[in-house]
Structure 1
Amino acid sequence: MNIFPRFFCLLSVITVLFLSSCAQKKDIVYYQNIDQFATGTASASFEPKLQPDDLLMIVVSAENPEVAAPFNLYAVTIQSNLETAGNQPRLQTYLVDSKGEISFPVIGNIKLGGLTRSEAMVKLKELLGVYIKNPTVNMRILNYKITIQGEVTRPGTYPIQSERITLLEAVSMAGDLTVYGKRNNILVLREMDGKVTSTRVDLTNSNFINSPFYYLKQNDVVYVEPNKTKVNSSVIGPNITVAISAISLLITIIALTTR
């Protein structure tokens, strides 16, 4: 009796059971209830608040540039012999300390933590009004960045130029989720008032557009968990190779002995 075909069929069945998996639409597709979602409810005027460790570039302008000069300090750099005379000086940057303050020329310490960029510029203009007539203030967060980890195509830390980015834009920057990423349970870590908070976001449900985490803030960390298929494959992967090799060896031995 030749039992080789039976073992071959058994091997095929085992392989299919281990390697195949059923992916359902509800686990993959984004915005599944977008047709029932009330459009226009997400805040388009989102602006992040300044927080400790933010690095700010602040430029003060006035009708008379000489009056504004004391408020526009330049960073001190050591010029080497290799540097050319054409190098442009860089404006001094200001680090928001643990108290939410910066040390500004002439004025001294200013509390900016907890304010939006627009609110901070208004406050600076009011303080500068004592020294300058109709001052203009421009401010930018230089180290605005977000980190994306887990089941995305290109995990990493990304600098943000616009100071406003949605979770969807961040995911797109990272090359979108892989097929193994959990779209309904994305973790967002955020530091607020010195404490790290966490929340879960479901990209398959359009209601997340109204979530406070639809827009990401500076230094947010986004983690995409692997789904069951990826978790199971991490265990099955090494073991199934050994199992197939063992079964193949067994079939070969049986085939030789039954001839």
Structure 2
Amino acid sequence: MRVLYFICLVGIVVFGSSCSYKQNQILFEKRASVVDTVSQKAAIISYRIQPQDILQIRNLQNLKYIVDEVPASSASGSGNNATAGQGQTFQVEEDGTVALPAIGHVQVMGLTRTQATKLIEDLYRKNLLKDPIIELKVVNLKVTLLGEVRSPGNFPIVKDNTTLVELIGQAGGLTPAANEKKIKIIRGKNNTQNVTEIDLSDINSLSDPRAYLQNGDIIYVAQNKRAIRTENLQNFNTWVQPALLLLNTALIIFTLSRQ
């Protein structure tokens, strides 16, 4: 009978250990050494426009202009009409120019969004408009967020200097299984990829230049150690529990047959 009780106890313990747990995230509490912003200041680099980029442009002084009031023949085939509130999109050609209504081809490759906005604004002011206020967005920029977040996937970079924390917020936050201390940002192309680890338990991560996202970044949030142990234990229980159940049943039948 003692053997029977022991096996039943083991079965209860194993079953109980397979239950889910709740892991509270510890964010922005620790204060580690101050980030060396001088040596890392190059990490905050405004994106520079490249060929094949898609620019969304509108004149805030007159939302209809560039969208409705310019004849279709004035615009290049690279431009696509949108609603007046959103502006029109134009693709940057391989030579680095973008064809805009009434002013023609404008060289924008290598310029930041702010520089390109000022250039286009000045050209429209000089050639056509009295007081244009141009809004320009690069709408094809994106990053990929994977791992232990509520809603992984691809996310557009809609503004300059988007941070890792802002992106995770857009994705609904971290899951209870996330390792907030080692969030990886994979940056670069082909053989020049670099991996940066950000510790979100450290409040200094909020001002870490490395946490400003760039086009094409891949962010991976791994599981924490407790989640990994729990998952391994659950996998182990998938075959241990049936075996224990079978053994317990056999011992019960054996014990009853001896009485």
Aligned counterparts of 1:184 and 1:161: Cα–Cα separation in 2 = 26
Question: Which structure 2 residues correspond to residues 1-259 of structure 1 after superposition, within 5 A?
Answer: 1-16=1-16, 28-33=25-30, 48-52=46-50, 53-59=52-58, 73=75, 75=79, 92-96=88-92, 101-105=96-100, 106-108=103-105, 110-113=107-110, 115-125=111-121, 131-132=127-128, 136=132, 137-191=134-188, 196-259=193-256
Q: Is the 8 A contact 1:2 1:258 kept in 2?
A: no
Give the drift of 1:254. Answer: 1.5
Give the drift of 1:166. Answer: 2.3
How many residues are treated as equivalent by the alignment? 237
Match of 1:80 in 2: none
Aligned counterparts of 2:32 and 2:194: Cα–Cα separation in 1 = 31
**Unpaired segments ≥5 residues, structure 1:** 78-86
Query: TM-score if structure 1 supplies the norm length?
Result: 0.69
Q: Is the 8 A contact 2:58 2:86 kept in 1?
A: no
Aligned counterparts of 1:182 and 1:235: Cα–Cα separation in 2 = 16
Aligned counterparts of 1:165 and 1:69: Cα–Cα separation in 2 = 34
Deviations, residues 23-70 of structure 1 (Å, cap 9, x unaligned): 6x7xx31011369979xxxx9xx784234343102346999x89x959
Give the 3-state SS of the residue equivalent to 1:178 in structure 2: coil
Aligned counterparts of 2:94 and 2:220: Cα–Cα separation in 1 = 26
Aligned counterparts of 2:229 and 2:179: Cα–Cα separation in 1 = 14
Structure 1 residues 192 and 124: alpha-carbon distance in aligned structure 2, compared to 1, 3 A threshold: farther
Q: Is the 8 A contact 2:32 2:204 kept in 1?
A: no
Moved more, 129-138 or 238-247: 129-138
- Identity %, equivalent residues: 22
Structure 1 residues 227 and 207: alpha-carbon distance in aligned structure 2, compared to 1, 3 A threshold: same
Structure 1 residues 235 and 102: alpha-carbon distance in aligned structure 2, compared to 1, 3 A threshold: farther
